[in-house]
Amino acid sequence: MSFLPKVDLRRTFLIARRDYLGYVKTWGFWLSFVTPILFGVIGFFAGNSDFDISPPRYETIIDETGQHEAGILARLDARYEARERATILAAATILPEDFRTELETTYDTRGKDAALDLLNDRSPGLASGLKPVERDLIFVDAPANTIEDLTPWLSETKTLMIDGKEQPLSGAVSIKTGETGEPVIAYWTTKFTNTQAENLVNGYFKDLAENDYLASGGLEAKALDTARKSAPEVETFDPTKSGDTEGSGQQVTMTDKIPFLAAGALAGLLWLNIFAGSYMLLTSMLEEKLNKLLEMMLASTRFAEIIFGKLIGVAALTLTAMAPYLIMGVVGVLYFIFFGPDKEIAEGLIAAFSAKMIIFLIIFFILGYVLYGAFFIALGALSSSMQDAQTLTTPIMLVMMAALIVVPIGLNNPDSPLITIASFIPFSAPFAAIISLPSDPPLWQLLLSTAWLALWCVIVISVASRIFRFGLLSGAGLEVVTNWFKRTVLRRKA
């Protein structure tokens, strides 16, 4: 007796082909295939065009105290300068750490222009791609001296003329001296859902209070800030890395971190693929059952051929649907490995996408997909409507969601015993095994996990075939399961 069901490859291929083309030939498929690319293209052009999705807000300050307006404006300038600094440093993220440190120091000591020159010398492409930070909050001189007189502008019956264009006045900050001598601040606007100006002024007055407090003890806020910046930072070392006794060469770098991050991303991607594929199988199976065509096919096709054909067809469909993302991912990784400016990242990516990772990724994708897919096929065969299918698949969906929890746990604690246990639980094994790969678990553990999962796949396929056969020929839906439960488990007449 053969352990695995016999299948005719030609018929299996024909069923897979029909399932694949049945979806691929529809407008809906291509629409969902093209939509992310379309969004990417629109995003790219929108980013490079003059179209502004959030035009600047023009606001004003009426400071009757005469003490705070300059401080608030200075704070706003400082905020945009900090944003500019962050943008320049972010552009250099993919460059080596040494250069990033040099760039940061240059910016802080010699200013923005010097930092830009340095970046331009190192990577003209990155420097030229930088866009100036656009100010989305601009304070203008008040067109009237009191809030009452400003009302026509605030209600937009009157507009400001700025650079030859009419602009609305979005808000006005009024600062007065209260009866106790404390400032009384009011913010007047008809567009109160935007709180930029409100937050800015609040921040200014909080800083002012902090400075006053420090000054009362003879301290300065600037000095406190400098002291904090000069504090030493922890360096991380890995004792398993080769290096001298002083620890040189054993520092943990991006190269060491990337395999873990990549494994997390791959485990997540694997989950997404399996989820998408399994759900497509469920709907395909339900469509098939409602079509009533399977019975006709069964006069010339084995049950196993239909199941395997569907699994293969939908797997191909899932991979096609994911193709744009997979291609972009592969191209991105190859670009960084061969042309990337940072050697650390390239080395990290080479370590992350090792032959071992790729082989086990393929193996666990196949096994995970077969395991979940067979379940969904069986449940689809038992359902007679989408409502039935949703009710029946809820428990397995919850199991699938629970299995995903191994990804964050594995990222934070790759040696967690939970990950080892999860790699032997069939439903979580594909994700747990992938996330544990960078920690270099013993090969026997991986092989045992693979064999165990493969055994479960065979069991699930065998059970699913029986359920599929029964569900298909019974013609009924959820009541078949409930009747069976009443009859067999509760020993009651269904």
Beta carbon of residue 294, minimum distance to another protein (angstroms, whole number): 9
Q: What residues from 171 to 210 belong to the interface with another protein (CB under 8 A)?
A: none
Range in contact with another protein (rule: CB under 8 A) among 20-28, 81-89, 162-170, 264-272:
20-28
Residue 171 pairs in a beta bridge with: 59, 189
How far is Cα 23 from Cα 20, in angstroms, rounded to an integer?
A: 6
Beta carbon of residue 194, minimum distance to another protein (angstroms, whole number): 48
Beta carbon of residue 43, minimum distance to another protein (angstroms, whole number): 32
Range in contact with another protein (rule: CB under 8 A) among 7-15, 63-71, 132-140, 316-324:
7-15
Beta carbon of residue 281, minimum distance to another protein (angstroms, whole number): 16
Beta carbon of residue 487, minimum distance to another protein (angstroms, whole number): 7
Q: What residues from 461 to 490 belong to the interface with another protein (CB under 8 A)?
A: 473, 475, 483, 487
Residue 132 DSSP symbol: P
Range in contact with another protein (rule: CB under 8 A) among 19-27, 99-107, 134-142, 147-155:
19-27
Strands (E), 109-156: 137-140
Q: Cβ neighbours of residue 431 under 8 Å, at least 6 residues apart?
A: 267, 270, 271, 364, 368, 403, 404, 406, 407, 422
Angle between the 254-291 and 343-352 helix axes, to the nearest 10 degrees?
Answer: 40
Range in contact with another protein (rule: CB under 8 A) among 164-172, 209-217, 297-305, 415-423:
297-305
Taking CB under 8 A as the rule, does residue 297 contact another protein? yes
Output phi, psi for 281, to 5 deg: -60, -40
Taking CB under 8 A as the rule, does residue 4 contact another protein? no
Q: Which is nearer to another protein, 112 or 292 (CB)?
A: 292
The one-letter amino acid code at 336 reads F
Residue 132 Rama label (left phi>0; alpha psi -120 to 50; beta) = beta
Output phi, psi for 195, to 5 deg: -115, 20
Taking CB under 8 A as the rule, does residue 18 contact another protein? yes
Q: What residues from 27 to 66 belong to the interface with another protein (CB under 8 A)?
A: none
Taking CB under 8 A as the rule, does residue 165 contact another protein? no
Beta carbon of residue 7, minimum distance to another protein (angstroms, whole number): 10
Beta carbon of residue 372, minimum distance to another protein (angstroms, whole number): 24
Task: Kindly determine how many residues on this chain lie close enough to bind another protein according to the rule CB under 8 A.
Answer: 26
Q: Cβ neighbours of residue 46 under 8 Å, at least 6 residues apart?
A: 53
Taking CB under 8 A as the rule, does residue 302 contact another protein? yes
How far is Cα 454 from Cα 435, in angstroms, rounded to an integer?
A: 19
By rule CB under 8 A, what string of x and - marks binding of each residue 69-108 to another protein?
----------------------------------------
Helix (H) or strand (E) holding 188: strand 183-189
Q: What residues from 267 to 296 belong to the interface with another protein (CB under 8 A)?
A: 287, 290-293, 295-296
Taking CB under 8 A as the rule, does residue 240 contact another protein? no
Range in contact with another protein (rule: CB under 8 A) among 11-19, 94-102, 127-135, 188-196:
11-19
Beta carbon of residue 387, minimum distance to another protein (angstroms, whole number): 20
How far is Cα 399 from Cα 419, in angstroms, rounded to an integer?
A: 16
How far is Cα 395 from Cα 398, in angstroms, rounded to an integer?
A: 5
Range in contact with another protein (rule: CB under 8 A) among 22-30, 111-119, 366-374, 423-431:
22-30
Please calculate the CA angle 377-266-408 and round it to the nearest 5 degrees.
95
How far is Cα 98 from Cα 283, in angstroms, rounded to an integer?
A: 53
Beta carbon of residue 458, minimum distance to another protein (angstroms, whole number): 21
Taking CB under 8 A as the rule, does residue 26 contact another protein? yes
Beta carbon of residue 321, minimum distance to another protein (angstroms, whole number): 17
Applying CB under 8 A, which of residues 4, 161, 234, 299 lies at the interface with another protein? 299
Taking CB under 8 A as the rule, does residue 14 contact another protein? yes
Rounding to the nearest 10 degrees, give the CA dihedral for residues 388, 390, 392, 398. Answer: -170
- Give the distance between the most distant pair of CA atoms in the chain: 97
Give the count of beta carbons closer than 10 Å to the beta carbon of residue 191.
Answer: 12
How far is Cα 78 from Cα 88, in angstroms, rounded to an integer?
A: 15
How far is Cα 487 from Cα 494, in angstroms, rounded to an integer?
A: 6
**Contacting residues toward another protein, per CB under 8 A:** 6, 11, 14-15, 18, 22, 25-26, 287, 290-293, 295-302, 473, 475, 483, 487, 494
